[in-house]
Amino acid sequence: MSHKILIANRGEIALRVIRACKELGLHTVAVYSQADVDCLHVRFADEAVCIGPPAPAESYLNIPRIISAAEITNADAMHPGYGFLAENAKFAEICETSGITFIGPTPEMISKMGDKIYAKSTMKKAGVPVIPGSEGGVKSEGEAEELARSTGFPVIIKAAAGGGGRGMRIVREPSQISKAFSAAKTEAQAGFGDSTVYIERYFESPHHVEVQLLGNGKGKVIALGERDCSIQRKHQKLIEESPSPAVTPEIRKNMMAAAIAGAEAVNYRSAGTVEFLLDEKKQFYFMEMNTRIQVEHPVTEMVFNVDLIKEQIRVAFGDDFKHTHANIEPVGHAIECRINAEDPFEGFRPMPGEITSFHTPGGLGVRVDTHAYANYKIPPFYDSLLAKLIVHGYDRREALERMKRALEEFVIEGVPTTIPFHKQVMKDDRFVRGEFNTHFLDHFTMEADSD
């Protein structure tokens, strides 16, 4: 392969993609904003182009500037990372029409799966269990009332163009439905430019379990196990692990088969994730599909020993992936803690600033994906993710002990981080027993720091 890849992103994921490219012998082009001159992705890449002011709209979200950077440097492929333009169908399409290979699914796939109603009905047709509720968009207050009654309370109203927890409304009583319906529509219109909403039965304390998929765009999809992403706060994941402590071998078999059937039905290409809710009765239901590489992909990489970014690049150029179900097998257990520049003692308030000292943990089974270094100034314009600490062990217990040990070794001074939070979760009885769901953090309070 002789290609030049432009990485339309920053931070740890830009470094992650550059590393994969180097191992494949591909040339790399970084783009950066005026706030990111001192960022490592600028130095790691073979070439770097400044694309504008700090504001994302003028740099990492600015399609014409990014396409110009690709044209100036003769890049023939684009990796979007996650966030920013990763699920922007228009961007993927402009890349393709400009002769730049988009390393991801087709533009049609991105826009189809971006419509959560389309995604649900497509999965249902492929035989995947979906959350009970409306078959499509809900048109009127009256229809909302009727559907909520037939589905059974509580219900949740979601924006068709939403996802990731934005623009959702939980309704517990019939008297609240009409008000919630109009509020959700207004919010959906304002947030996504599309007021279409749908209704589902609301599950009170589910696990959030997602299946990692790789499709070759030639009808073949493989599943690389699941990740449990139940430890989240305001729809921001903080801890992910694989395998899920809530998933039995039988559930896993059925969940993988369902995810593969759904993705093969749409001839999925690239890395993707099917999100399921796993309820108290251990029934799983399709929720949405993500058409990007995700922040938490390393836990899957550690368990399967597969480089997901390299696979994504291979299939984008029409090669087949290196792995099949016949030559991959999960080994052990992996956990990821997201280290954010946020103060867990102050409601996880983002705290940009200068890192005065920085020391990463090491040793067997420890991986740190980070763009931070001593004296790095965290700009206030982007998300607060500083590092991902991923550990692998032969079982969950060893992974947990390894995570505690690695968190002890991790030194970040100058800005508060989520490290003290993770230390406390790792010794929480319910977390240790694997007995947690999406509401774990609702009841979790930080103890005063003893360090």
Residue of the chain from 206, 262, 361, 420 that contacts ligand MV4 (CB under 6 A): 206
Q: Which is nearer to ligand MV4, 202 or 358 (CB)?
A: 202
Dihedral angle at the C-alpha atoms of 330, 437, 286, 389, nearest 10 degrees? -40
Residue 165 touching ligand MV4 (CB under 6 A)? yes
Q: Which is nearer to ligand MV4, 165 or 434 (CB)?
A: 165
What Rg do the C-alpha atoms of the chain give, in angstroms? Answer: 22
Distance separating alpha carbons of residues 343 and 349, to the nearest angstrom: 5
Residue 287 touching ligand MV4 (CB under 6 A)? yes
CA nearest to 407, candidates 393, 436, 387:
387
Burial class (CB in 10 A: 0-12, 13-18, 19+), 442: exposed
**Residue 292 designated active-site:** yes
- In the complex, the smallest distance separating the C-beta of residue 275 from ligand MV4, rounded to whole angstroms, is 6
- In the complex, the smallest distance separating the C-beta of residue 90 from ligand MV4, rounded to whole angstroms, is 23
Residue 438 touching ligand MV4 (CB under 6 A)? yes
- In the complex, the smallest distance separating the C-beta of residue 277 from ligand MV4, rounded to whole angstroms, is 6
Residue of the chain from 178, 232, 236, 424 that contacts ligand MV4 (CB under 6 A): 232
CA dist 422 to 208, 319, 352, 408, Å? 19, 40, 19, 10
CA nearest to 187, candidates 165, 167, 170, 215:
167
Angle at 181 between CA 176 and CA 187, to 5 degrees: 125
- Counting residues that bind ligand MV4 (by CB under 6 A) gives 17
Q: 70: phi > 0 → left, psi -120 to 50 → alpha, else beta; which?
A: alpha
Q: Which is nearer to ligand MV4, 162 or 365 (CB)?
A: 162
- In the complex, the smallest distance separating the C-beta of residue 230 from ligand MV4, rounded to whole angstroms, is 7
Distance separating alpha carbons of residues 412 and 195, to the nearest angstrom: 44
Residue 208 touching ligand MV4 (CB under 6 A)? yes
Q: Is the distance from CB of 21 to CB of 1 less than 8 angstroms? A: no
Task: Give the three-state DSSP class for 283.
Answer: coil
Q: Which is nearer to ligand MV4, 165 or 353 (CB)?
A: 165
Distance separating alpha carbons of residues 419 and 403, to the nearest angstrom: 11
Q: Which is nearer to ligand MV4, 164 or 353 (CB)?
A: 164
**Span near ligand MV4 by CB under 6 A; candidates 197-205, 305-313, 351-359, 391-399:** 197-205
- In the complex, the smallest distance separating the C-beta of residue 130 from ligand MV4, rounded to whole angstroms, is 10
Residue 284 touching ligand MV4 (CB under 6 A)? no
Considering the candidates 227, 252, 269, 292, report the single residue annotated as catalytic: 292
Distance separating alpha carbons of residues 285 and 269, to the nearest angstrom: 22
Residue 202 touching ligand MV4 (CB under 6 A)? yes
Residue of the chain from 235, 253, 349, 397 that contacts ligand MV4 (CB under 6 A): 235
Residue 131 touching ligand MV4 (CB under 6 A)? yes
Q: Which is nearer to ligand MV4, 174 or 380 (CB)?
A: 174
Q: Is the distance from CB of 245 to CB of 434 less than 8 angstroms? A: yes
Paired strand residues for 114? none
In degrees and rounded to multiples of 5, residue 376 shows phi and psi of: -70, 135
Residues that bind ligand MV4 (CB under 6 A): 131, 156, 164-165, 200-203, 206, 208, 232, 235, 275, 277, 287-288, 438
Which positions are catalytic?
292
